[in-house]
């Protein structure tokens, strides 16, 4: 039993996922309250180098060929041995395709309570989770003596969980991992076809206000600078200026990006119903009465034709390009 | 010996059973008037006459394989010109769509509208509790029958788009003020009102329509009133022509009929000039389907400053806005097939008629035509206004 | 082959959600329950598996408002058996639901159990993996495609960015559905009404509900809502500068 905060590192094909760093940042906060260490648990095969920039006090590394790729069964076996032995105060998992395959199973297997959808921890160590599409927040004491927690992004920045100095790595022996019930057969790469805007984190959306196809260039440049993707409302697609796969709206895609930058879009219900899950909507429209301003977090009445080029340049500057 | 091909007898039987004069289906002389006048007939693969031919040839299964039939907007044009007076729209087209639904052949936009209607009582998927929110700030207060619990003279059946769509709510507010100015004793059902379901019925969901009618019938039964008026011609059509067969019988009029009857009372209140060339679009379910052409025009003519002009298609051969029969929820689907919208066609006509204002009397039309004015060249300055809004403007309310 | 689907009903987000007087739970006065969207996909996936390989499809759901309608609709889509778990499931957590469902589902001797990968009111993990461990079965979540063969299944597991991992999973197993191979089909109201006359819902009791393993909520509240956008004014240059600042705050720059 310890007051340490464990985080289960998530990685896929040689890349550590952002959520791992978010969890490390959260763990650092928590550890201040418990007085324990931040311990990153890394499972893999010949993957030790992935520990390089984890902002942890120490890394426990378990190596086994069966851990070369994620398998729920394998991870559950390794972690149940480790967590039941060490009994850290809290173990953090990502609320992801990896983390959710393991956390709940361990809760039943080990009899440790589980809190999910946690976005952050308060200064006095309470969990703060969001449910019901973000409409409701739930807060409470972290169950004791040991708690399992799955985390969603948004409460901490990944940079806060990264370190310039590589942490100390201790290799731990893996339990036997044969007769796994779940194993990877193969990966299938995403199609090289058009982008799925429903999965994009930054969307630059254009509406009727863009006026003609040539002006789409403005949106394209901004998207490129920001690392986003261009999409549009009905009239833009109807005119053939964007492919149907880029349509956002009732008869197109529902999107939930981090940022939805709506340019020249009035905000008719048929469009807005498909964007209400966006984290932050920013609207640019010369009409102060445009309904989009009722659901946007930020807005400006600036003219797109005055603003966008200037904005694109400033974004490039900020990126150091 | 060639196999004897039998007509799809069960579809015939269904049409017969479900429609007044359904047996006329057998009288089709394949003249093709229906398919010719159909605004999307050229895309439908099986427009009405061809559909009947397919039925006769025992080829209905081929119809179920195509999704082009969802281009039908139930505008009644075919029914209006059929020399054998076959109830094509309510009979043949509706029942074919029913078969398409049962076969799982339904575009996803329409599916959502139907599922929303079933769950929330409106196709937009809005909370039923918010159905009367549009009326919250109006003075004098709009009576919510469930709250006031006293008899009223008129039950105003407001409708889905009139209750929830931000643009159409403006029309509802105008009408509420007009009714108050005329000292009409009216009330609304608010959250107890469910969709009239007429467009859903024409899109093939008979079961859903009956479920909604049952609910509305129960709500009507709770209160005392002398007549029903509707904002929506579709609701008017449902309550007038379909509800009685389900045991729900109330005198009902469209608001334009109701106001036209009070034109002498209205005239002195229309003090502000609305100087404009106005053209009136006959909604399919007010005009062609129910024969109401004059009253809306009478109301417009009495507004000072209004000069009434007609579009080339008017009265009986008015062009549909494209919203009926499920069209309201098939915009993406229909656009993909046609690359033209009926609403744009109509706006072009309004522009060609030299109109400043396109006047409408159906809640589907204002958002549809306003969208079209933004894409039809030259029509950018054409205003779209419901008759209630124009009256309201003239009354300065 | 025997396939079972566990379905949950969750708060309908179309309605306004408020916290009740206790301060730790949702106000049920205006709360309406709707099928968990991901469970709707699980039902569709079950029906697809039945159409493809002729398995016996059973739908299992806890007894809450709206459950009968849900079960009959599933039957109209093609489900063979409908089971309602009796008990007071209002406000009950996933640990309790999983234990109760496991007792019922165990008796079906399923080869495959599917359920939605998550639900909007999950606060103690999702019911799928909890159920899997109660049943002693393996679990894979975020599944968007399934092929069944003798003794094992091939599950398409989704990772971010469109990457798919095909996983071999030994049966019996529990799979958490992210999306069915096609969107949930439409069923005409008349068809459901017809089915209500012929299909029957089996009621089964679960042992007393055991919620241990979930957190205790100290406070439930609504995040602050803004009614109108914060407007940014100034010259194009000034507005652009402020927007860049916002992008930085949001972590995209």
Q: Can you tell me the distance from the alpha carbon of A214 to that of A203, in angstroms, rounded to the nearest whole number?
A: 19
B211 contact residues in C (CB cutoff 8 A): 189
Beta-carbon contacts of C23 under 8 Å, excluding residues fewer than 6 positions away, are: C219, C220, C221
B367 contact residues in A (CB cutoff 8 A): 268
What are chain A's partners, defined as 3 or more CB pairs within 8 angstroms? B, C
Cα-flanking dihedrals φ and ψ of residue B306, to 5°? -80, 130
Selecting from B336, B367, B374 the residue whose C-beta is nearest the C-beta of A235 gives B374
Question: Is A251 close to B331, i.e. CB distance below 8 A?
Answer: yes
Q: Which residue has the tokens 């089709």?
A: B28
- Of the residues C13, C14, C18, C192, the best mutation for testing chain B's interface (the one with the most B CB atoms within 10 Å of its CB) is C14
ipTM attached to this prediction:
0.91
A318 at interface of C, judged by CB pairs closer than 8 A: yes
Question: Is A108 close to C166, i.e. CB distance below 8 A?
Answer: no
**A residues 118..147 contacting C (CB < 8 A):** 126-127, 129-143, 147
- Of the residues B322, B338, B371, B380, the best mutation for testing chain A's interface (the one with the most A CB atoms within 10 Å of its CB) is B371
Of all helices (H) and strands (E), which one includes residue B352? helix B342-352
What pLDDT sits at residue C161? 65
Q: What does the pLDDT look like over B19-56, one tens digit per residue? A: 778 888 889 999 999 999 999 999 999 999 999 999 88
Question: Is A269 close to B124, i.e. CB distance below 8 A?
Answer: yes
- Of the residues B95, B104, B123, the best mutation for testing chain C's interface (the one with the most C CB atoms within 10 Å of its CB) is B104
A295 contact residues in C (CB cutoff 8 A): 229
Of all helices (H) and strands (E), which one includes residue A106? helix A99-110
Beta-carbon contacts of A72 under 8 Å, excluding residues fewer than 6 positions away, are: A101, A102, A105, A182, C138, C139, C140, C141
Question: Is B101 close to C185, i.e. CB distance below 8 A?
Answer: no
What pLDDT sits at residue C13? 86
Residue C103 tokens read as 């007792």
- pLDDT > 70 in chain A, percent: 98
CB count in 10 Å sphere of residue B75 = 30
For residues A227-242, give the mean pLDDT.
Answer: 87
The string of DSSP codes covering B222-283 is: HS--SEEEES-HHHHHIIIIIGGGGT----EEEHHHHHHHTHHHHGGG--S---EEEEE---
Residues paired with residue A136 on neighbouring β-strands, in sequence order:
A131
Question: Is B207 close to C191, i.e. CB distance below 8 A?
Answer: yes
Mean pLDDT, chain C cut into blocks of 10 residues (253 residues total): 97 90 92 95 98 96 96 98 96 96 97 96 97 98 95 92 90 96 93 96 93 96 78 94 92 83
What pLDDT sits at residue A321? 55
Order of strands across the sheet that contains B143-144: B143-144, B186-188, B154-157, B227-230, B252-254
Q: Can you tell me the distance from the alpha carbon of C25 to that of C31, in angstroms, rounded to the nearest whole number?
A: 11
B205 contact residues in C (CB cutoff 8 A): 188-190
Q: Can you tell me the distance from the alpha carbon of C131 to that of C95, in angstroms, rounded to the nearest whole number?
A: 8
**C residues 50..69 contacting A (CB < 8 A):** none
Selecting from A238, A268, A291 the residue whose C-beta is nearest the C-beta of B335 gives A238
Q: Can you tell me the distance from the alpha carbon of B151 to that of A267, in angstroms, rounded to the nearest whole number?
A: 40
Is the predicted pLDDT of residue B7 greater than 90, yes or no? no
Q: Would you call C194 exposed, middle or buried from its count of C-beta atoms within 10 A (0-12, 13-18, 19+)?
A: middle
| Alpha helices by DSSP H, chain C | 37-53, 67-77, 94-106, 127-135, 189-198, 236-249
What are chain B's partners, defined as 3 or more CB pairs within 8 angstroms? A, C
A291 contact residues in B (CB cutoff 8 A): 166
Q: Can you tell me the distance from the alpha carbon of B63 to that of B46, in angstroms, rounded to the nearest whole number?
A: 7
Q: Would you call C69 exposed, middle or buried from its count of C-beta atoms within 10 A (0-12, 13-18, 19+)?
A: middle
DSSP C19: B
How far apart, in Å, do the first and last CA atoms of chain C sit?
52
Strands C202-205 and A38-44: unpaired
Residue C62 tokens read as 């806890």
Q: In 3D, which of B36, A105, B19, B227 has the Cα closest to residue C127?
A: A105
- pLDDT > 90 in chain A, percent: 69
Is the predicted pLDDT of residue B360 greater than 70, yes or no? yes
Cα-flanking dihedrals φ and ψ of residue A249, to 5°? 155, -175
Q: What does the pLDDT look like over A129-145, one tens digit per residue? A: 989 877 889 999 999 99
C11 contact residues in A (CB cutoff 8 A): 132
Q: A66 or B16, which is more confident?
A: A66
CB count in 10 Å sphere of residue A50 = 18
Question: Is B207 close to C34, i.e. CB distance below 8 A?
Answer: no
Distance of CA A36 to the CA centre of its chain: 26
Q: Number of C-alpha atoms within 13 angstroms, CB side, residue A284?
A: 25
CB count in 10 Å sphere of residue A49 = 10
Question: Is A235 close to B375, i.e. CB distance below 8 A?
Answer: yes
Query: What is the model's pTM?
Result: 0.89
What pLDDT sits at residue C226? 56
- Window from A254-263, B136-145, B188-197, B373-382 with minimum mean pLDDT: B373-382
What pLDDT sits at residue B364? 93
| Cα-based angle A142, A145, A151 (whole degrees, multiple of 5) | 40
Question: Is A187 close to C168, i.e. CB distance below 8 A?
Answer: no
What pLDDT sits at residue A243? 86
The string of DSSP codes covering C201-232 is: -EEEE-SPP--BTBPPPSEEEPPP--SSPEE-
- Window from A184-188, A283-287, B348-352, C169-173 with minimum mean pLDDT: A283-287
Do B116 and B329 form a contact (C-beta atoms < 8 A)? Answer: no
Question: Is C188 close to B98, i.e. CB distance below 8 A?
Answer: yes
Of all helices (H) and strands (E), which one includes residue B52? helix B48-56
B332 contact residues in A (CB cutoff 8 A): 234, 247, 250-252
| Cα-based angle C103, C109, C110 (whole degrees, multiple of 5) | 105
Residue C114 tokens read as 């599917």
Q: Can you tell me the distance from the alpha carbon of B294 to that of A267, in angstroms, rounded to the nearest whole number?
A: 36
Question: Is C14 close to B120, i.e. CB distance below 8 A?
Answer: yes
Is the predicted pLDDT of residue B318 greater than 90, yes or no? yes
Beta-carbon contacts of A107 under 8 Å, excluding residues fewer than 6 positions away, are: A113, A114, A148, C95, C124, C125, C130, C133, C213
A12 contact residues in C (CB cutoff 8 A): 159, 163
What pLDDT sits at residue B5? 61
Q: Can you tell me the distance from the alpha carbon of C16 to that of C18, in angstroms, rounded to the nearest whole number?
A: 7
Q: What is the dihedral of CA B294, B295, B300, B303, to 10 degrees?
A: 130
Do A137 and A23 form a contact (C-beta atoms < 8 A)? Answer: no
Strands C2-6 and A202-206: unpaired
C192 at interface of B, judged by CB pairs closer than 8 A: yes
Q: Can you tell me the distance from the alpha carbon of A48 to that of A60, in angstroms, rounded to the nearest whole number?
A: 10
Beta-carbon contacts of B396 under 8 Å, excluding residues fewer than 6 positions away, are: B271, B272
C222 at interface of A, judged by CB pairs closer than 8 A: yes
Q: pLDDT band at residue A267, thresholds of 50, 70 and 90?
A: confident
Selecting from B124, B165, B332 the residue whose C-beta is nearest the C-beta of A252 gives B332
Beta-carbon contacts of A243 under 8 Å, excluding residues fewer than 6 positions away, are: A194, A237
Provide the number of CB pairs (under 8 Å) joining chain A to chain B. 28
A157–chain C nearest CA distance, Å: 7
Q: Can you tell me the distance from the alpha carbon of A213 to that of A232, in angstroms, rounded to the nearest whole number?
A: 12
C34 contact residues in A (CB cutoff 8 A): none
What pLDDT sits at residue A72? 98
What pLDDT sits at residue C33? 96
Residue A92 tokens read as 């953090």
Burial profile B384-395: b = 16 or more Cβ within 10 angstroms, e = fewer: bbbbbbbbbbbb
Q: In 3D, which of C218, C138, C202 has the Cα closest to residue C174?
A: C138
Question: Is A269 close to B165, i.e. CB distance below 8 A?
Answer: yes
Strands A114-121 and A168-172: unpaired
What pLDDT sits at residue B371? 86
Question: Is A139 close to C11, i.e. CB distance below 8 A?
Answer: no
The chain B residues in contact with chain C (CB within 8 A) are 98, 101-102, 104, 106, 108, 111, 114-115, 118-120, 125-127, 129, 204-208, 210-211
What pLDDT sits at residue B1? 47
Q: Can you tell me the distance from the alpha carbon of B97 to that of B22, in angstroms, rounded to the nearest whole number?
A: 16
Residues paired with residue B357 on neighbouring β-strands, in sequence order:
B278, B383
Q: What is the dihedral of CA B125, B130, B132, B134, to 10 degrees?
A: -90
Rounded to the nearest integer, the mean pLDDT of chain B is 94
Residue A284, helix vs strand vs coil: strand
For residues A76-91, give the mean pLDDT.
Answer: 97
- Of the residues C12, C13, C124, the best mutation for testing chain A's interface (the one with the most A CB atoms within 10 Å of its CB) is C124
Q: Can you tell me the distance from the alpha carbon of C57 to that of C6, in angstroms, rounded to the nearest whole number?
A: 11
The chain A residues in contact with chain B (CB within 8 A) are 208, 234-235, 238-239, 244, 247, 250-252, 268-270, 273, 291
Beta-carbon contacts of B183 under 8 Å, excluding residues fewer than 6 positions away, are: none
Q: Where do the DSSP E strands lie in A5-83?
A: 5-8, 11-12, 15-16, 38-44, 58-63
Question: Is A244 close to B109, i.e. CB distance below 8 A?
Answer: no
Q: Let me know how long chain A is.
A: 321
Residues paired with residue A38 on neighbouring β-strands, in sequence order:
A5
Distance of CA B195 to the CA centre of its chain: 12
C244 contact residues in A (CB cutoff 8 A): 311, 314-315, 318
Question: Is A72 close to C246, i.e. CB distance below 8 A?
Answer: no
Q: What is the dihedral of CA A214, A218, A223, A226, to 10 degrees?
A: 170
Q: Can you tell me the distance from the alpha carbon of B157 to that of B93, in angstroms, rounded to the nearest whole number?
A: 27
Q: Can you tell me the distance from the alpha carbon of B365 to that of C115, in angstroms, rounded to the nearest whole number?
A: 43
Q: B225 or A154, which is more confident?
A: B225
CB count in 10 Å sphere of residue B363 = 31
Q: pLDDT band at residue B73, thresholds of 50, 70 and 90?
A: very high
Residue A242, helix vs strand vs coil: coil
Question: Is C15 close to B207, i.e. CB distance below 8 A?
Answer: no
Selecting from B111, B125, B211 the residue whose C-beta is nearest the C-beta of C14 gives B125
C3–chain A nearest CA distance, Å: 18
Q: Let me know how long chain C is.
A: 253
Question: Is A250 close to B333, i.e. CB distance below 8 A?
Answer: no
Residues paired with residue C58 on neighbouring β-strands, in sequence order:
C4, C81
Q: Which residue has the tokens 């030259």?
A: B378
Do B35 and B50 form a contact (C-beta atoms < 8 A)? Answer: yes
Cα-flanking dihedrals φ and ψ of residue B280, to 5°? -105, 130
Question: Is C125 close to A114, i.e. CB distance below 8 A?
Answer: yes
């Amino acid at each position: 039993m310890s007051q340490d905060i464990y985080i289960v590192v998530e990685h896929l094909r040689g890349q550590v996922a952002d959520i791992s760093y978010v969890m490390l940042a959260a763990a650092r906060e928590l550890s201040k309250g418990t007085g324990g260490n931040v311990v990153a648990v890394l499972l893999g095969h010949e993957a030790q180098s992935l520990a390089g920039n984890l902002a942890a006090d120490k890394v426990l590394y378990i190596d086994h060929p069966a851990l070369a790729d994620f398998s729920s069964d394998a991870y559950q076996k390794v972690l149940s041995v480790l967590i039941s032995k060490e009994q850290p105060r809290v173990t953090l998992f990502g609320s992801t395709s990896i983390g959710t395959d393991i956390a709940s199973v361990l809760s039943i297997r080990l009899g440790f309570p589980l809190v999910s959808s946690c976005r952050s921890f308060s200064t006095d160590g309470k969990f703060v989770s969001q449910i019901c599409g973000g409409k409701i927040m739930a807060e409470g004491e972290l169950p004791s003596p040991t708690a399992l927690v799955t985390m969603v992004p948004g409460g901490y920045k990944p940079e806060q969980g990264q370190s310039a100095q590589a942490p100390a790595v201790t290799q731990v022996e893996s339990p036997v991992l044969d007769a796994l019930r779940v194993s990877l057969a193969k990966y299938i790469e995403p199609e090289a076809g058009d982008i799925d805007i429903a999965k994009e984190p930054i969307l630059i959306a254009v509406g009727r206000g863009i006026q003609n196809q040539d002006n789409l260039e403005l949106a394209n440049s901004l998207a490129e600078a920001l690392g986003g993707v261009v999409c549009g409302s009905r009239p833009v697609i109807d005119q053939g200026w964007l492919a149907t796969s880029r349509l956002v709206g009732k008869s197109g895609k529902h999107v939930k990006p981090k940022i939805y930058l709506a340019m020249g879009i009035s905000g008719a219900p048929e469009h807005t119903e498909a964007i209400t899950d966006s984290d932050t909507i920013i609207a640019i429209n010369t009409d102060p009465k445009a309904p989009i301003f009722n659901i946007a977090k930020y807005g400006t009445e600036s003219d797109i034709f005055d603003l966008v080029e200037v904005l694109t340049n400033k974004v490039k500057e900020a990126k150091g390009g | 010996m060639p196999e004897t091909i039998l007509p799809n007898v069960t579809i015939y039987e269904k049409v017969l059973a479900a429609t007044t004069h359904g047996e006329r289906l057998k009288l089709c002389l394949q003249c093709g008037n229906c398919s010719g006048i159909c605004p999307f007939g050229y895309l439908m693969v099986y427009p009405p006459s061809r559909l009947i031919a397919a039925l006769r040839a025992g080829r209905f299964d081929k119809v179920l394989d195509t999704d082009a039939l969802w281009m039908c907007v139930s505008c009644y044009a075919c029914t209006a010109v059929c020399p054998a007076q076959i109830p094509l729209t309510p009979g043949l087209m509706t029942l074919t769509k029913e078969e398409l639904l049962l076969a799982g052949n339904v575009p996803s936009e329409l599916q959502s509208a139907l599922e929303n209607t079933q769950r929330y009582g409106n196709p937009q998927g809005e909370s039923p509790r918010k159905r009367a929110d549009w009326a919250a700030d109006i003075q004098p207060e709009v009576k919510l029958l469930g709250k006031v619990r006293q008899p009223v003279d008129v039950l105003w059946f407001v409708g889905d788009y009139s209750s929830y769509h931000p643009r159409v709510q403006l029309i509802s507010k105008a009408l509420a003020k007009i009714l108050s100015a005329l000292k009409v004793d009216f009330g609304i059902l608010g959250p107890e009102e469910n969709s009239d379901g007429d467009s859903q019925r024409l899109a093939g969901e008979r079961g859903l329509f009956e479920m909604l009618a049952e609910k509305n019938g129960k709500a009507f039964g709770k209160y005392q009133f002398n007549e029903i008026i509707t904002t929506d011609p579709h609701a008017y059509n449902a309550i007038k022509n379909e509800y009685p067969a389900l045991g729900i019988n109330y005198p009902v009029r469209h608001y334009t009929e109701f106001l036209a009857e009070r034109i002498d009372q209205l005239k002195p209140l229309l003090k502000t000039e609305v100087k404009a060339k106005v053209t009136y679009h006959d909604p399919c379910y007010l005009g062609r389907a129910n024969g109401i052409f004059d009253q809306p025009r009478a109301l417009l003519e009495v507004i000072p400053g209004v000069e009434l002009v007609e579009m080339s298609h008017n009265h009986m051969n008015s062009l549909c806005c494209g919203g009926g029969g499920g069209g309201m929820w098939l915009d993406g689907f229909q656009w993909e097939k046609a690359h033209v919208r009926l609403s744009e066609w109509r706006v072009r006509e309004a522009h060609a008629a030299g109109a400043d204002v396109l006047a409408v009397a159906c809640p589907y039309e204002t958002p549809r035509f306003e969208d079209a004015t933004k894409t039809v060249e030259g029509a950018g300055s054409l205003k779209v206004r419901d008759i209630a809004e124009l009256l309201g403007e003239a009354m300065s309310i | 082959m025997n396939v079972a689907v566990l379905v949950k009903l969750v708060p309908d987000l179309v309605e306004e959600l408020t916290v009740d007087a206790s301060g730790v739970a949702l106000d049920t006065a205006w709360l309406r329950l709707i099928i968990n969207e991901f469970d709707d996909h699980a039902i569709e996936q079950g029906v697809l598996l039945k159409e493809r390989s002729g398995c016996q499809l059973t739908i299992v759901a806890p007894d809450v408002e709206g459950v009968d309608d849900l079960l009959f609709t599933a039957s109209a889509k093609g489900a063979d058996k409908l089971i309602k778990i009796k008990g007071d499931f209002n406000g009950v957590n996933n640990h309790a639901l999983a234990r109760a469902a496991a007792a019922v589902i165990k008796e079906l001797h399923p080869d495959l159990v599917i359920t939605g990968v998550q639900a909007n009111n999950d606060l103690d993990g999702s019911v799928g993996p909890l159920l899997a461990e109660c049943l002693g079965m393996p679990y894979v979540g975020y599944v968007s495609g399934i092929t069944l063969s003798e003794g094992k299944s091939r599950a398409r597991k989704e990772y971010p960015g469109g990457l798919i991992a095909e996983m071999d999973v030994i049966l019996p197993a529990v799979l958490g559905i992210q999306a069915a191979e096609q969107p949930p089909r439409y069923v005409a109201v008349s068809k459901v009404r017809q089915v209500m006359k012929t299909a029957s819902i089996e009621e089964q009791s679960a042992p007393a509900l055991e919620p241990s393993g979930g957190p205790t909520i100290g406070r439930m509240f609504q995040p602050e809502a803004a009614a109108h956008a914060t407007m940014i004014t100034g010259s194009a240059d000034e507005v652009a500068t402020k927007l860049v600042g916002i992008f930085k705050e949001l972590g995209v720059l």
